[in-house]
Amino acid sequence: MKQLDPISHVMTTNVKTVQINQKMSEVLRLLSENQIHHVPVIDGRKLVGIISTTDIIRLNITVSTADGWSIERVMKKNLVTIEIRDTVRKAAQLMSDGIFHSLPVIDKDGHLVGIITSTDLIRYLVKLC
């Protein structure tokens, strides 16, 4: 049954990340150059937050004001994550209420191994049809 496929079949593994001590201008550049909407924030190898384009818009951060904001101040810290051994169904259930549009994927040690986005799920569904 496809809904029980592991999340590893759907997630993005080449995740663009930022270190917590980087500048916000680097986050803006990363989002723009890679045409992505979510950037996990790590401290060393530990996942500590996530920044989305919605966060940046909500705070009205622009290129000229970006470095007046710290990544730690902008990022969401109360993360909802999914484990690599979880299923596509679980990811869809977590994202179905519309609060989250991405979920960092972690291994059993809590290290970031991927990210699953609503776009990833839609692409997966299209393949099934």
CATH number for position 22: 3.10.580.10
Instruction: DSSP for 22-49, please give it.
Output: SBHHHHHHHHHHHT-SEEEEEETTEEEE
Report which residue type is found at 28: L
Average pLDDT over residues 15-30: 96
Task: For 59-78, give the secondary structure using H, E and C.
Answer: CCCCCCCHHHCEHHHHCECC
Average pLDDT over residues 106-123: 93
Predicted structure pTM score: 0.90
Model confidence over 50-97: pLDDT tens digits? 999 999 999 999 989 999 999 999 999 999 999 999 999 999 999 998
pLDDT, position 5:
87
Q: Tell me how far apart the alpha carbons of residues 100 and 118 are, in angstroms, rounded to a whole number.
A: 8
pLDDT, position 128:
81
Q: How many domains does the chain have?
A: 1
Domain extent, residue 57, equals 2-128
pLDDT, position 1:
47
Q: Is the pLDDT of residue 45 over 70?
A: yes
pLDDT, position 3:
67
Average pLDDT over residues 32-44: 95
Sign of the four-CA dihedral 26, 28, 29, 33: positive
Which residues contact residue 93 at a Cβ distance below 8 angstroms, ignoring those fewer than 6 apart? none
